């Protein structure tokens, strides 16, 4: 079974630019989650998509947005990049968020550096 | 009330020792408590999980102890090995929301 795949693995952008990160979930998983992990810190929940709909959103400004496609893959878009957006962006998938029978499976993330 | 408090923030244990990481919660509606392990440059991976109707779950050297009345749960790593050096996250789930602890960086000294 192929795991969660994210692209690109690394990205360097300039402040004010826009970026799009991509995620392909495990086959059969309908839910996709995005997390931000600043260096050495914890997991900050960004967005949850299930069956193509945004189900929940973390405490992030509107310049963080995304979508889920009919094949359940997902994009995370960040507009007007700021230096503090530099982080590891993790995507996870599951059949249903956080339940005992459907744990989250994470990709290895996209390392975004904003200069 | 939705927080999960994890401690310690960092932990150094000698090889062969027992590593213990603790988490506490307030919301009694949480119904699923997983632990994730994250190595540098990798995403977190599910290590072990427990439901609140069970007081202990063991998988190899890893054990979750769950105290419902105290609203606490902990991860015990027996015979800790250098390969266990990683960041560990506890979490709790309610209504399809997963609330994460802040993480513990574990270093096992050879």
Contact B98 A90 (CB under 8 A): no
In chain A, residues 16-75 whose CB comes closer than 8 Å to chain B: 41-43, 45, 55-56
User: pLDDT tens, B10-57?
Assistant: 999 999 999 999 999 999 989 899 999 999 989 999 999 999 899 999
Mark A18-54 as b/e (b = at least 16 C-beta within 10 Å).
Answer: ebebebbbbeebbbbbbbbbeeeeebbbbbbbbeeee
Residue of B nearest to A57 (CA): B97
Which residue in the set A43, A100, A103 is minimally distant from B89, CB to CB? A43
- Cβ atoms within 10 Å of B54's Cβ, excluding its own: 11
Task: Report the distance separating Cα A102 and Cα A43, nearest Å.
Answer: 19
Closest CA to B96 of A23, A113, A30: A30
In 3D space, the residue among A87, A70, A69 whose CA is nearest the CA of residue A78 turns out to be A87
Distance CA A48, CA A31 (A): 7
Return the bridge partners of A34, or none: A47, A91
pLDDT along chain A (115 residues), means of 10: 93 98 96 91 92 93 97 98 97 76 90 97
**Does the distance separating the beta carbons of A106 and B44 come in below 8 Å?**
yes
Give the mean model confidence (pLDDT) for residues B65-74: 96
């Amino acid at each position: 079974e192929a795991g969660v795949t994210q692209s690109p693995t690394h990205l360097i952008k300039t402040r004010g630019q826009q970026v799009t990160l991509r995620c392909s979930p495990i086959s059969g998983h309908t839910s996709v989650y995005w997390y931000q992990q600043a260096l050495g810190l914890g997991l900050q929940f960004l967005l949850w998509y299930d069956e193509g709909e945004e189900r929940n959103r973390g405490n992030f400004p509107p310049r963080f947005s995304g979508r889920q496609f009919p094949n359940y893959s997902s994009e995370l878009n960040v507009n007007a990049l700021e230096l503090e957006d530099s982080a590891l962006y993790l995507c996870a998938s599951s059949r249903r968020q956080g339940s005992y029978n459907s744990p989250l499976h994470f990709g290895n993330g996209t390392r975004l550096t904003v200069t | 009330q939705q927080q999960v408090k994890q401690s310690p923030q960092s932990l150094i244990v000698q090889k062969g020792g027992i590593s213990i990481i603790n988490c506490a919660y307030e919301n009694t509606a949480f119904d699923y408590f997983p632990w994730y392990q994250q190595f540098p440059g990798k995403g977190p991976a599910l290590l072990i999980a427990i439901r609140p109707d069970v007081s202990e779950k063991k998988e190899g050297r890893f054990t979750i102890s769950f105290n419902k009345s105290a609203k606490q749960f902990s991860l015990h790593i027996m015979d800790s090995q250098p390969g266990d050096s990683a960041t560990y996250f506890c979490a709790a789930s309610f209504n399809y929301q997963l609330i994460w602890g802040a993480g513990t960086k574990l270093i096992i000294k050879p």
